Structure 1
């Protein structure tokens, strides 16, 4: 692990460094600086324009402007602090050194609430302080590939895109060979970029791949999930491939999931969700091997799931995936090895105790991993601190999950209203400053959608009304 003292030696033969921050949409933003500039800032940080948290994914200022960055404060600088422990080199850019930065208020030096790495880091720190435990996570991302370029997608207005391969062929050993240069370039580049994949295969859907990132520290996992997308989006164009991490790229086709696996371990690496001996008196057979801490964590997640949906499903398109009859998780539900519930419990007898964990199945591939993991772990900690008991029974099948349990919000607007409400659990576990900022960004997104005239409207109404 790199220390500040070691950095200068590591960069002995370099002339520049790439720095990366994460914005509210989970997009990596940054710049290249000279080695001299980097070394002058490595201990105390440097100024970075706050507009990073003042505009949307297409660099359009939020309307209305938000507290962090606005005309009244002159779009003032934030303090960007370099995380030397995040050091790696960018294989496809001549191995230029790469570091993450996190953002702080330049006047108070306090962590910026909206900074994704700060939000997740703060929750993980609280877990360590309260429980003496470490937050662990894994991520699985499904995504489409299209044989398109940025220019061709705009020329086609985003419709009638050509998939990399036709038809449905999940877990195919044959299909990757059709585009093996791209397929293996992603695999090997991820390994060089410290984004190890423990699984990499085709998934059902035309041109769909799935990547599973190696399980580990939750903060590192959020970084690696973001960097995996960066690898694909950087390499794809070299092969005339456009990777697509939208939750629902095509009507009538499966959506792209972004499942998150979570657990807690103690200082010796013991899984705190695992139960030492079977609880034969458990309220449900599903939790016979889940510890009391695990049950409380699960209860906290279920209690707050409807209140944090914008962090799990952050775009307008997210809710096109979360519809009935596509086996998407649309209710506050859970179950042992249940892949149609929002939370799948993985535990004995179907898994070894050390693998006991929760799989949060609500997010799509458009998930903001830092925000989503922060929400899940914050709710889990809330459940543990308040010793919440499970009140939601396990779902046994998809029909039951649809009919018996609370329906999650059906749109980004509905989800944001609940997230921003005065008494929401999101405010309790993540704080008003963060909730106010992120709610503002989502209301901005909803307003742009409300004003948009879509292809569906034109083709449906242009001749008939």
Structure 2
């Protein structure tokens, strides 16, 4: 019987569905916020869609994470009538679901006009640019996420306040904690292996109930698929255990934020050698790696909205919270936004540390990769490395990051590099969605405002 991860062609997909005598197949597509939207299809409908594709209502690209309709996007809105958009089944994404679902999962992506703003398709276009330049791209995602002894009902009954973490206190890399909760840890690891987003490292981070999972390195497209699936099914697994997992950038001002770091490297298509490694240069950095780093650094302020896509993202980017506050770079320096990791031909890479756990993996990786490629294209050189505490390092104006989602969206809108790399359709649509997100936030009165102003002002 065919293994799901051996499915490569349309004929393979037909074979595995037929062999397993499935009545239905599950499909999913990732929206602008990285949320997986999907449904069950009858086996007959799925098989018929393999050749010619199927359709999703384009509202999937036209609403926010709370299913509220954007009022400012050109591609989709009330003015278009919300028609169907063509969707392609990615046959080699076939996976087992390790729950009580007697079916298989396939990822889909938008096609036709909708492809220009589809997050997965966006990343594929950037990867193709790298290939045209002679590079294969490899990436790995690391996610921090907080776990709570709460349910979807209880967090709402408590108005998301006074939540009970899975564990108490600050106890990073705790063998005690991972042993006490070994059963749940085993479930995470088993799910990750079964669904083929293997975890290279899993441990308690510092803070009550916070875990970190480092996903194994893979080709860039597969790495993003695996990151997106990990976030989706980690939340599902938690709720199946009467727990809640959050990937917010920062859920409480009392604790550090939650990162979504990306490790990136390039290899030459022709011979497979690292394009970043040069044994004869300082820190083993090749000219290509220097230029790549420079592109990431110089374009980080312009692309920040793609990596920090929520209002909450910007509460994490504060001094002393293990998150960068400027577009800085350093060698083995975890206080900088870009960490050069010297190594061998196999391990030489850059860690893109600006990202939080709330980012859409496809869009965040597209930004990190495209900015680096742009630096290679223009042979840019990076600013001097920061040694020691980057939070105390004087920051040149050109390395300052936007302080709010609105400001970040405006920089992205005005970026000629972004329009060249991602296309006007994506930039205009994505910026509009971020402006919408900021406007929704501005409609609300916070507890801080009430406590501060209600009586006294």
Task: Classify the TM-score, shorter chain.
Answer: over 0.9
Task: Give the match for residue 233 of structure 1.
Answer: 235
Task: Give the match for residue 202 of structure 2.
Answer: 200
CA contact (8 A) 1:413 1:446 kept: yes
Q: Does 1:87 align with 2:94?
A: yes
Task: Give the match for residue 3 of structure 2.
Answer: none
CA contact (8 A) 1:111 1:118 kept: no
Q: Does 1:292 align with 2:321?
A: no
How far is the alpha carbon of 1:386 from its aligned partner?
A: 1.6
How far is the alpha carbon of 1:216 from its aligned partner?
A: 0.8
Measured at CA, do residues 311 and 84 of structure 1 come closer, stay the same or move farther in structure 2, by a change above 3 Å? same
Out of 250, 254, 258, the position equivalent to 1:248 is 250
How far is the alpha carbon of 1:427 from its aligned partner?
A: 2.0
The aligned length equals 446
Q: Structure 2: any 5+ residue segments left out of the alignment?
A: 1-5
How far is the alpha carbon of 1:325 from its aligned partner?
A: 2.8
Q: Does 1:357 align with 2:349?
A: yes
Runs of 4+ in structure 1 deviating by more than 6 angstroms, as ranges, are none
Task: Give the match for residue 183 of structure 1.
Answer: 185
CA contact (8 A) 2:305 2:409 kept: yes
**Separation of aligned partners in 1, 2:413 and 2:344:** 39
**Separation of aligned partners in 1, 2:239 and 2:391:** 44
Task: Give the match for residue 452 of structure 1.
Answer: 444
Q: Does 1:411 align with 2:404?
A: yes
Tell me, what secondary structure is at the counterpart of 1:85? helix
TM-score of the two chains, using structure 1 as the length reference: 0.93
Q: Does 1:77 align with 2:84?
A: yes
**Separation of aligned partners in 2, 1:90 and 1:354:** 32
**Separation of aligned partners in 1, 2:94 and 2:393:** 45
What is the root-mean-square deviation in Å for CA atoms of aligned residues? 1.5
CA contact (8 A) 1:182 1:235 kept: no
How far is the alpha carbon of 1:235 from its aligned partner?
A: 1.2
CA deviations 1:183-233 (Å, max 9, x no partner) are 211111111011100001110010000000000111111111111112211
**Separation of aligned partners in 1, 2:43 and 2:147:** 36
How far is the alpha carbon of 1:389 from its aligned partner?
A: 2.4
CA contact (8 A) 1:259 1:359 kept: yes
Report which stretch shifted further, 220-229 or 68-77: 68-77
Out of 143, 149, 154, the position equivalent to 2:156 is 154
Q: Structure 1: any 5+ residue segments left out of the alignment?
A: 280-286
CA contact (8 A) 1:329 1:340 kept: yes
Out of 9, 17, 35, the position equivalent to 2:15 is 9
Q: How does 1:413-432 map to 2 (within 5 A)?
A: 413-421=406-414, 423-432=415-424
CA deviations 1:360-411 (Å, max 9, x no partner) are 0001111111001111111111111222223x11001225664234221111
Out of 24, 30, 42, the position equivalent to 2:38 is 30
CA contact (8 A) 1:418 1:424 kept: no
**Separation of aligned partners in 1, 2:175 and 2:419:** 46
How far is the alpha carbon of 1:264 from its aligned partner?
A: 0.8
How far is the alpha carbon of 1:61 from its aligned partner?
A: 0.3
